Chain A
Amino acid sequence: MTVTEAVTTQAGRASRSARLPTPRRKPRALVNGYRWWIPWLFLTPTIVAVAVFLIVPLFAGLFIAFTDWNVVSGIEGIRWVGAANFQELIGDPKFWSSLGRTLFYAGVGTPLTVAVGVALGIALNRPMPARGLLRAIFFLPSLVNTVAAGTVWLLLLHPTSGLVNDTLRAIGLSEPPKWFVSQEWALPAIVLMSVWIGAGYVAVLVIAALQDMPEELYEAATLDGAGALRKFTTVTLPGLVPMLTFLLITSFIGRSQSFGLIQFMTSGGPGESTTVLSYYMYEVGFHSYRFGYAAAIGVMSMLGVLVMSVALFRLQRGRGLYT
């Protein structure tokens, strides 16, 4: 029974036409002015691509997390072990320490990169000579490949002959950190390097957002007698919040999966000090050939990131300029 029929029968017959016509519900087909399947049509390529290249492998990966598989033994070698991998994970000290390191890397590295990027972005938004070139230079690190960047930074952070420690000693620090050679400083060194890589990227996006900010707000603030700092905290920063949230979340996600850099520079060491979750997953999977266990780590990693992202998102709600 269609809607129109239902309405007509319910309301009775002859009397209907005499009264004001009740707002007829549009035929469902054209609720928004177009058929319901139009948006889905637009989404088809995305859905297909995601389903084929993401959902299917994802399900396979999830499945593998409940098995004990070493790939080499083929399909027949897949043995279901239920939650054994996850149980083992919970009791695995290396899992928890890698998790901690990942949180450090992502939780410290991301805000740091974004902060530096914002500072750079604001600075680069001011008039100065060769501004375009300078912007390009800051953006450059995000383009360079791991081998080159990694080798250079190893040399820069060389404990005895590296530029950084030379400078630190020049300004009075007699015992500068040993960076990649020490277990306390290796991960912070990687964080530093990731800031170098990411800050320019953030800066570029921040510049774009700044250029979009309405001038009137600044003028109004000036009229209210706000100094530079005030203007920053009440206009600039809130205006950047949406962009920053986006950046924070995507960077956080990216970092918790980041792996190539660490593999090249420290291979998880010295000792275990740079073994983050993604590297541990790699070790377990590609070195020990325990893909079931590795997949379990992947699942936990995914869940962790999901939780953090939701938290970050909730945190920023209501703090933006336009919300």
Chain B
Amino acid sequence: MSTEIIEAPLVSPRAGYLRRKRRERVVWWLTGLIMAMIAMLFLTPFLWMVSSSLKNNVDIFEIPLRWIPDPMVWSNYISVWFGERSMVRYFSNSTIVVIATIIGQLVVVTLAGYAFGQLKFKGQHVLFLAFLATSMVPGQLLLVPRFMFFRQIGLYDTLWALILPGLASVFSTFLLRQHFASAPRELGEAARIDGASEWRIFFHIYLPLARPMLAALAILIFDATWNDYESALIMITDESKFTIPLGLTRFMSEDGTVSLGPALAGSVSSLIPVLIVFLIFQRQFMHSMSRAGLR
């Protein structure tokens, strides 16, 4: 606070304002502190993960728990990234699958969300509910039939087997439907009167409105696809097509023992892209989830 040359008498509102501002600042810091402490609780498992990934296998279960590894070794990361069968391959496969899934799913889901949300047709409510109901099917029930089916149509052991089933996501369709439903009808109707084609209306009027939502969804899809293990385990056999979760299984030997150090190094490595993506798009994510206007 710079000293005022013109000294005004200390009128109560101003003093009150200062006091309030100071109190707000205190609250600001206090809230941050409390939340940070709770956040530490949430963060502890990650700290353990990172710490253990820098230890030799022998030391990981040492009791009492040592947060700073002694000795600290980078060998886990080196073997995971530069050793035989480096994770680079798995990373690239996972990236391919994730990007293809994001693009594919966004296309499919946007079209469907628009149809359910903005367009009118007979039976759309029933159809939508039925669609929602499909999300209740337990994944394991589908596993074996899907496997045999993919064998039949020759998609077994290809990355397509991981991409295609994820395209018609109920969750994403729902969110987009809500989004489109809350968009004003008049825009479309006006365009219709002017003779615009349905495709133009969708593509040039409503789709741009959904852009923020699509960005948010992209993050969620990324998150869900990156860590998928079960379906990849069943569908992929060729090691050159492994995704990251599968790649981590190679630290499991045939008798069930696990080499934890490298496995954790791999896990930490695989977390970083997701984290980065989230941090970058965080604001946009929040922003557009709010536009979802789930009403």
Contacts and interface: CB of A to CB of B under 8 A. Distances in A.
Interface stretch (B5-13, B83-91, B139-147): B139-147
A66 interface: no
Rank and list the top 8 A-B pairs by shortest CB-CB distance, nearest first. A208-B289, A298-B141, A60-B145, A152-B45, A49-B168, A57-B145, A128-B32, A42-B115
A30 to B, nearest CB: 10
A127 interface: yes
B275 A61 contact: no
A179 interface: no
B35 A45 contact: no
Interface string A251-289: 001001101100000000000000000100110010000
Interface stretch (B15-23, B74-82, B223-231): B223-231
Chain A facing B: main interface SS: helix
Interface stretch (A16-24, A92-100, A135-143, A219-227): A135-143
Interface in B230-271: 230, 245, 248, 258, 260, 263-264, 267-268, 270-271
A243 B29 CA distance: 30
B54 interface: no
B156 interface: no
Contacts of A55: 134
A64 B143 CA distance: 12
A42 B49 contact: no
29 contacts: A32-B120, A36-B121, A36-B122, A39-B121, A42-B202, A45-B107, A46-B108, A49-B165, A52-B164, A54-B168, A128-B32, A132-B279, A132-B282, A132-B283, A134-B39, A136-B275, A136-B278, A138-B42, A140-B46, A145-B245, A147-B258, A147-B263, A153-B45, A161-B65, A205-B289, A208-B286, A210-B290, A256-B138, A291-B144
A34 B45 contact: no
A83 interface: no
Contacts of B283: 132
B112 interface: yes
A159 interface: no
A156 B44 contact: yes
B198 to A, nearest CB: 5
A278 B140 contact: yes
Interface in A188-228: 196, 200, 204-205, 207-212
A194 to B, nearest CB: 13
Contacts, number: 246
Nearest to A207: B286
A25 to B, nearest CB: 16
B40 to A, nearest CB: 9
A45 B249 CA distance: 34
Contacts of A301: 138
Contact of B141 (A44, A137, A163, A295): A295
B252 to A, nearest CB: 9
A149 B47 CA distance: 11
A9 to B, nearest CB: 27
Contacts of A204: 285-286, 289
Which of A49, A60, A200 lies at the interface centre, i.e. has the most chain B CB atoms within 10 A of its CB? A49
A141 B289 CA distance: 19
Nearest to A254: B135
Contacts of A149: 45
Given A45-B167, A161-B63, A209-B294, A39 B120 contact: yes
A155 B141 contact: no
A71 to B, nearest CB: 6
Nearest to B202: A42
Given A57-B142, A136-B275, A145-B245, A43 B267 contact: no
Nearest to A279: B140
B133 interface: yes
B149 A56 contact: yes
A148 B45 contact: yes
B259 to A, nearest CB: 12
Which of B137, B189, B271 lies at the interface centre, i.e. has the most chain A CB atoms within 10 A of its CB? B137
A212 B45 contact: no
B274 interface: yes
Contacts of A137: 39, 42-43
Interface stretch (A104-112, A170-178, A229-237, A302-310): A302-310
Contact of A148 (B134, B148, B168, B267): B267
B28 A278 contact: no
Given A39-B120, A40-B121, A58-B137, A147 B248 contact: yes
Contacts of B126: none
Contact of B32 (A38, A130, A305): A130
